[in-house]
Chain A
Amino acid sequence: MFCFPAMGHRHCCALGPMDPMRRSPSPCPSRPSSPRTPPCEMLGYVGIEAVLDQLKIKAMKMGFEFNIMVVGQSGLGKSTMVNTLFKSKMWKSTVQGLGTPTPQTLKLQSVTHVIEEKGVKLKLTVTDTPGFGDQINNDKCWDPILGYISEQYERYLQEEILITRQRHIPDTRVHCCIYFVPPTGHCLRPLDIEFLQRLCRTVNVVPVIARADSLTIEERETFRRRIQHNLRTHCIEVYPQKCFDEDINDRILNSKIRDRIPFAVVGADREHLVNGRCVLGRKTKWGIIEVENLAHCEFPLLRDLLIRSHLQDLKDITHNVHYENYRVCRLNESHLLPRGPGWVNLAQTPAGPLATPQPSKVHQQAQEDSEDGDEY
């Protein structure tokens, strides 16, 4: 039985647009010193690993929460994709009739469901953004979205700083944002770039190529490379972020995923009979596109990333990095703002410039923070 030299650091390094996180805990004279921990060898079985089972039991009892947001222009198959991901009718796919006027402002719609599988309860919240990028003038169409995300952080923050806190603070923060890129085959559009730049600072973004059945395999590859190039040029860090890779295993796994991002996906919620099997797919005159077939589209990769392997990681990064960044900005802002009536009440939190730190402001704040330190 061996011993490891030190505890691993989680999400504590940062590059680029992410704010750096402080590492060292506060010094306290009567605390046991953490750095020097002599390794001890146990002479027999004690039963410490039973704590894992205890953890599992506790987790199953409490249930899990996951909040996902889908962003993209209408008609890209967002609602269908969500239905396919969770194999249920979360949304009715909305079809804008010709008579109904397009909404002037972006209104986000959230729907919450509880799904259970093998004793594991998952409270799933899906937020849709109908009307994104549909107007003629799409300037600042990302503001409502960023405002919504900030509002969830704010809600959590308010719960956290109460004197009498709840045992388990309800987590409505957006853990993952799936961004649907229309399958033009060329490169990212200015709207996409603007939006992604802003969003990557506050939430985990997974871009996907929507309606990929209109592209051939080669076109998909070229499109993917171009998008990756665009992302690199504009310093957009999508999930899984390179700076949060902890050890060599993570890095290898994640670099494989990074290689295939953005996934080319197809969504379908109808079943068809193929070779005697019932599969989800889209039926066309030239064939049936099987959603779960890796040769046809990369939907399984997306599903595995989001649900089967990286769900906890998404939540961790949201909690440890994005939420902490928001909290730092917010607590620093409170020094500068004048004390007005109700400026901390949730209902009156402005979703505008105050709550959404602009990119330059974030940078400035970061510099100020490093000077101020723990002024609290």
Chain B
Amino acid sequence: MTSEVARHLRGEHQDSGKFHILLKELQLVMLFQTHMPTKTTCLSSQISDDEQNQKKENIRSLTMSGHVGFESLPDQLVNRSIQQGFCFNILCVGETGIGKSTLIDTLFNTNFEDHGSSHFYPHVRLEAQTYELHESNVRLKLTIVNTVGFGDQINKEESYQPIVDYIDAQFEAYLQEELKIKRALSNYHDSRIHVCLYFISPTGHSLKTLDLLAMKSLDSKVNIIPVIAKADAISKAELQKFKIKLMSELVSNGVQIYQFPTDDETIAKINASMNGHLPFAVVGSMDEVKVGNKMVKARQYPWGVVQVENENHCDFVKLREMLICTNMEDLREQTHTRHYELYRRCKLEEMGFTDVGPENKPLSLQETYEAKRHEFYGERQRKEEEMKQMFVQRVKEKEAILKEAERELQAKFEHLKRVHQEERMKLEEKRRLLEEEIIAFSKKKATSEIYQNQPYMASGSNLKKEKDRKKISNAQVLDGGSRRTRESMRAGSLSYRAQSLPQR
């Protein structure tokens, strides 16, 4: 019967993960059904509080009389996650040159493309790069965020604020997506930082102030795992003292670093022991050196070879084990359920949303939202009105000023016009006078000519002479009209001047 089912459901295709699991399950079913149906009990004694919860919720626990088959549920869940792919975001905080990129390369056994950064950036910048890694059937979208220029500035006051802002921005983006009406959370590329590797420089003394301040501001927003970078610069004895000093400083300053979870029995022991080794002293290297007859990743010095994957030399293997193999899922869960929820709560409370209204009645987000919206619209309406009023007023003022200017101009124009008129009239007057003078003068000239000619006419003997003279004078008149005129004018002027001369 079951083989029929298997054949039916398997069909022709043999190479899908789902089918393999199904097949496995069906084989188990066959195994079970050959025996007598065993009673599978539920409710083991250790889950006593579950029992209480169940009693509260009126849930009975049931005994099944046969094999149902839902123990494939975790496998179904895993299959779905494989299909969706995983997402992991690491933030590396540390000074320039402390070995962040090298450590990440070593952790994931790849050469991510990177370029060495300069020490001369004016501000701290965060650079994110996403890579897709693939191992057996697991697809991991890994995002590495690097702090560029951390600790390089002379004035380090603004060093860690960009980091906090970046983390908040990722939370904000997720919150925005979650609050949308039409959202696509299943497709969303989760960019929230899941773990922050804080690189401490191996001075051997204590934490730097910058480190302390930075970690203090980050500990409520992200899971911090402090690591001692370039650990091959410290000797073993110094390292122990250094670690103790660091941990005591962190504890005394109230910095909450990430503690590996110890509530699940399978990993509790190893996690507890690892918690005691924090902070991990790591060495990163992608160069291979021949040790014995194997090529291992190591750093070669004249006095020896520091092997990266040797537990006696450094804690790199522990870090990789904790970060990737054992607790990746827990880091993601902590980010989502603790840090993100905290951010969300603070943000929403800041915006004025509460769960409980004024009379302790449960208030919903929508009601508050509606109220706020109403308020916001009212506010906007008011502001619009205000702006309109202001606009109208300004227009009026401007108009008045312009009118004033116009009037002034008009007045000036009038004034100038008047002045011009006056001058013109004066000139007219002068001209008239001049013309009168000219007329008078020409009259005078004419009369003086007549008077000049008369004495010559009285002596008749001189008639011929007079005729000749007349002729000459005429000729003279004709020829030298101007001389004549000049003469006559002179005469005229003489006669004019000597008006009092009696005329014969």
Contact = CB atoms under 8 A, between A and B. Distances in A.
Interface of A: 1-4, 7-12, 21-26, 28, 30-34, 36-52, 54-61, 64, 85-90, 112-123, 158, 161-165, 167, 246, 249, 252-253, 256, 278, 280, 292-295, 300-301, 303-304, 307-313, 316, 320, 324, 327-328, 331-332, 334, 339, 342, 344-345, 369, 372-376
Interface in B110-165: 110-113, 126, 128-141, 143, 145, 165
Given A9-B187, A21-B184, A249-B13, A56 B62 contact: no
Given A43-B109, A113-B62, A345-B362, A37 B130 contact: yes
Interface in B168-215: 169-170, 172-173, 176-177, 179-189, 191
B272 interface: no
B61 A114 contact: yes
Interface of B: 1-2, 4-5, 8-9, 11, 13, 16, 18, 22, 25, 36-37, 40-44, 54, 57-86, 107-113, 126, 128-141, 143, 145, 165-166, 169-170, 172-173, 176-177, 179-189, 191, 264, 266-267, 320-321, 324-330, 333, 337, 341, 344-345, 348-349, 353-355, 361-362, 364-367, 369-371
B80 A313 contact: yes
Contacts of A61: 264
A117 B40 contact: yes
A186 to B, nearest CB: 27
Q: Which of B111, B177, B183, B341 has the most CB of A within 10 A?
A: B183
A328 B182 contact: yes
Nearest to B337: A167
Q: Which of B140, B184, B344, B370 has the most CB of A within 10 A?
A: B184
Contacts of B112: 40
Contacts, number: 342
A2 B73 contact: no
15 contacts: A3-B133, A8-B84, A21-B182, A44-B109, A54-B326, A54-B327, A54-B330, A58-B333, A88-B63, A88-B64, A112-B58, A114-B54, A114-B62, A294-B4, A300-B1
B184 A115 contact: no
Contacts of A320: 185-186
A163 B345 contact: yes
Given A51-B328, A59-B74, A369 B129 contact: no
A34 B75 CA distance: 28
B326 A122 contact: no
A115 B42 contact: yes
Nearest to A312: B76
A64 B113 CA distance: 42
A375 to B, nearest CB: 7
B81 A31 contact: no
Contacts of A327: 181
A307 B77 CA distance: 12
A55 B78 contact: yes
Given A8-B83, A112-B58, A375 B129 contact: no
Contacts of A40: 108, 110, 112, 131-133
B62 A51 contact: no
Given A34-B130, A52-B82, A58-B330, 17 more contacts: A9-B187, A30-B169, A31-B189, A32-B130, A46-B109, A47-B135, A49-B138, A52-B138, A54-B329, A57-B264, A64-B73, A115-B42, A294-B8, A295-B4, A320-B185, A334-B370, A345-B362
A32 B16 contact: no
Q: Which of B59, B76, B145 has the most CB of A within 10 A?
A: B76
Contacts of B326: 50, 54
A224 B20 CA distance: 29
Contacts of A28: 169, 172-173, 176
Given A114-B59, A339-B370, A55 B77 contact: yes
Please give me the 7 A-B residue pairs with the lowest Cβ-Cβ distance, nearest first: A32-B128, A116-B42, A54-B329, A34-B189, A312-B76, A344-B364, A118-B71
A120 B184 contact: no
A56 B74 contact: yes
B365 to A, nearest CB: 4
A43 B109 CA distance: 6
Contacts of A308: 22, 25, 69-70, 72
Contact of A25 (B69, B128, B187, B328): B187
A288 to B, nearest CB: 14
Contacts of A32: 128-130, 143, 145, 191
B42 A114 contact: yes
A57 B266 contact: yes
Contacts of A119: 71
Contacts of A47: 135, 320-321, 324-325
A256 B185 CA distance: 30
Contact of B66 (A10, A87, A300, A372): A87
A23 B184 contact: yes
A307 B59 contact: no
B110 to A, nearest CB: 5
Nearest to B75: A56
Contacts of B138: 48-49, 51-52
B96 to A, nearest CB: 21
Q: Which of A86, A246, A312, A332 has the most CB of B within 10 A?
A: A312
A292 to B, nearest CB: 6
B180 A374 contact: yes
Nearest to A61: B264
Given A64-B73, A331-B181, A37 B11 contact: no
Contacts of A26: 173, 176-177, 180
B69 to A, nearest CB: 5
A225 to B, nearest CB: 18
Contacts of B113: 38
Given A60-B74, A87-B64, A116-B42, A307 B341 contact: no
B41 to A, nearest CB: 8
A243 B391 CA distance: 56
B171 to A, nearest CB: 11
B399 to A, nearest CB: 41
A310 B75 CA distance: 11
A37 B135 contact: no
Contacts of B183: 22, 324
A203 B96 CA distance: 55
Contacts of A22: 182-184
A120 B140 CA distance: 27
Contact of A304 (B9, B79, B110, B341): B9
A52 B81 contact: yes
Contacts of B129: 32
Contacts of B329: 51, 54-55, 58
Contacts of B66: 87, 280
Nearest to B329: A54
Given A28-B173, A48-B133, A55-B78, A117 B71 contact: yes
Contact of B68 (A21, A44, A87, A163): A87
Nearest to B143: A32
A50 B5 contact: no
A86 B68 CA distance: 6
Contacts of B78: 52, 55-56, 59
A117 B134 contact: no
A316 B131 contact: no
A8 B141 CA distance: 12
